Amino acid sequence: MSVFTLSQAEREKHLLPQLAELTAHHRENSEGYERILSSLGIARDAEFASIADLPWLPVRMFKTHDLRSIPESEIFKTLTSSGTTGAGASRIYLDKDAAGAQTKQLGATLQEVLGNERLPMLMVDTIGIIKNRRSFSARGAGVLGMANFGRKHTYVLDENDHPDVEAVKTFLATYGDKPFLIFGFTFMVWQYLYEVAREHELDLSNGILIHSGGWKKLIDRAVDNTEFRRRFKEDTGLTRIHNYYGMIEQIGTVFLEGPSGNSLYCPDFADVVIRNPETWEEQPVGEPGVIEVVSTLPRSYPGHVLLTEDLGVCNGIDDGDWPGKHFSVLGRLPKAEARGCSDTFQGAAA
């Protein structure tokens, strides 16, 4: 069942009451969140006319404040972001219900491009990234979360972070004649899969690549999204490529690239608002601004309306591969912390 079905008008009608209820829920159950909203002068009985009217938290708040809406005794899993500066890492608290919901909705989102069958899977990472099952980095959480949607997992990197070319060749010889899943963070996919596949003339034409994690290192190599897709197609035969945008502070919600590329789409339980960085009003289509991400999933912590540190632009509404807004990420805000998941990777050179 698709989760890319709601027009923007239907989405607003469907999500707004749920998000308003979540705002009230988090005020009731998170003392820190209640203090923040009260300090902003937002009354407990405030009404919101649109999704864009909902109060947002800067995503950085999760680095400096311990925000949760569940008792400590109900914490099932704690996730940490890949913070690289003195601001520290975000800490996200999940109870069992929240952990189950985020896995279920991530699966529903990815089924749009993967289908219902669990496919053999190439993981462009090392198995060492998921050794600690209770407390994960952003990268480890991403790898483990995606592992649920594949089978016969083969890791592209050995435990010393070097490409295991023979393992990849064996995987392709066994499973490469039918659809298979590839997952990794963008820079690692380029360095440890694309460059290895090109060098060894590997055929990835039956693969479906899901990737994320920032473009900074690739832009330095003059590789943008269009070039990334072109080179994979020409040199490896891989054409089914889907970038996604998401963050550990809104775990389980991903904004998935459509089949035609270069635009990200909101699943039915989420939305995006592009805000003017001076007035904080919503920007019209085509005008860049700061990305706000909205999701009905976060119930164990107040992460349902978050202002990111990324710049983006809404490319259109109800006129793309799937209904609703579709948008592009343009990069980090000036002076914002560079904390892309893949950019924290310090692996050996291929």
Q: How many domains does the chain have?
A: 2
Does residue 281 share a domain with residue 236? no
Give the pLDDT confidence score for residue 341 in this predicted structure.
37
Does residue 221 share a domain with residue 143? yes
Does residue 265 share a domain with residue 227? no
Residue 23 has pLDDT above 90, yes or no: yes
Q: Could you give the strand order of the β-sheet that contains 77-80, starting from the edge strand earlier in sequence?
A: 91-94, 77-80, 135-136
Backbone angles phi, psi at 308, to 5 degrees: -85, 180
The bridge status of strand 240-245 relative to strand 207-212 is parallel
| pLDDT one-digit tens code per residue, 318-334 | 999 999 999 999 888 87
Which domain, by its residues, includes 288? Answer: 8-70+260-332
Q: Yes or no: say if 20 and 12 are a contact pair by the CB < 8 Å rule.
A: no
Give the pLDDT confidence score for residue 137 in this predicted structure.
59
Picking from 245, 273, 290, the residue at the C-terminal end of a domain is 245
For residue 86, tell me if it sits in a domain. no
Compute the average pLDDT of residues 210-233.
83
Quick one: what percent of the chain has pLDDT higher than 70?
Answer: 88
The mean pLDDT of the chain is: 87
| pLDDT one-digit tens code per residue, 154-180 | 999 888 888 999 999 999 999 999 999
Does residue 164 share a domain with residue 215? yes
Does residue 192 share a domain with residue 130? yes
Q: Yes or no: say if 259 and 252 are a contact pair by the CB < 8 Å rule.
A: no
For residue 158, tell me if it sits in a domain. yes
For residue 49, tell me if it sits in a domain. yes
Q: Yes or no: say if 270 and 236 are a contact pair by the CB < 8 Å rule.
A: no
Name which of 260, 279, 280 is nearest 328 in CA terms: 260
Does residue 116 share a domain with residue 141? yes
Residue 316 has pLDDT above 70, yes or no: yes
For residue 78, tell me if it sits in a domain. no
Does residue 173 share a domain with residue 277? no
Burial track 191-205 (b if 16+ CB lie within 10 A, e otherwise): bbbbebbeeeebebe
Give the pLDDT confidence score for residue 85 in this predicted structure.
45
For residue 30, tell me if it sits in a domain. yes
Length of the chain: 350
Q: 96-114 and 138-147 are packed helices; what angle lies between their axes, rounded to 10 degrees? A: 60
Does residue 274 share a domain with residue 176? no
Q: Yes or no: say if 92 and 303 are a contact pair by the CB < 8 Å rule.
A: yes
Residue 348 has pLDDT above 50, yes or no: no
Picking from 245, 270, 300, the residue at the C-terminal end of a domain is 245
38: domain CATH number is 2.30.38.10
Does residue 219 share a domain with residue 138? yes
Better-predicted residue by pLDDT, 87 or 284: 284
Does residue 231 share a domain with residue 306? no
| pLDDT one-digit tens code per residue, 111-125 | 999 988 899 999 998
Q: Find which of 75-79, 249-253, 302-306 is predicted with most confidence, using mean pLDDT.
A: 302-306
